Amino acid sequence: MNVVLWIAAILLAVVFLASGIMKLLRSKEQLAGSGQTWVESFPDSLIKIIGALEIAAAAGLILPPAFDIAPVLAPVAAVGLIVLMVGAVVTHARRKEYTNVIVNIVLILLAAFVAWGRFGSYSF
């Protein structure tokens, strides 16, 4: 089970690291042009904050347990991603972007699995 939890955490980290970097480096117009039309409803500063939170969560999923420094931060990062993705579900549902809602729910379930496993029997 530990290997499965690591794979899930790495998958989440890769997805959110890429997403966060994209939000930090691209302009609002570039993000909207690439299909992320939800950014039109948010200020630039909030988009950058979301990107920074995604990068922090990606780092929190992998680095603390990998270096055995406060490994409890991994499930905390997973819970943070759940909160962030609940906000994404609400945003996409209001905009009737149901494909994105499904993707966000899958990410919530994956993050919940990591949080459950790392807070529970398979903690570090």
Q: Tens place of pLDDT for every residue, the chain, 124 residues? A: 899 999 999 999 999 999 999 999 999 999 999 999 999 999 999 999 999 999 999 999 999 999 999 999 999 999 999 999 999 999 999 999 999 999 999 999 999 999 999 998 767 6
The answer to whether residue 70 is domain-embedded is yes
Q: What is the pLDDT of residue 124?
A: 63
pLDDT given for residue 120 in this prediction: 82
- Assigned domain for 101 exists: yes
Q: Give how many domains the chain has, as a whole number.
A: 1
Q: Could you list the residue range(s) of the whole structural domain that residue 19 is in?
A: 2-119
Q: Is residue 124 part of a domain?
A: no
DSSP string of 14-72, one letter each residue: HHHHHHHHHHHHS-HHHHHHTT-GGGGGS-HHHHHHHHHHHHHHHHHHHHHHHHTSSTT
Residue 38 covered by a domain:
yes
**Residue 61 domain-assigned (yes or no):** yes
Say how many Å lie between the first and final Cα of the chain, rounded.
12
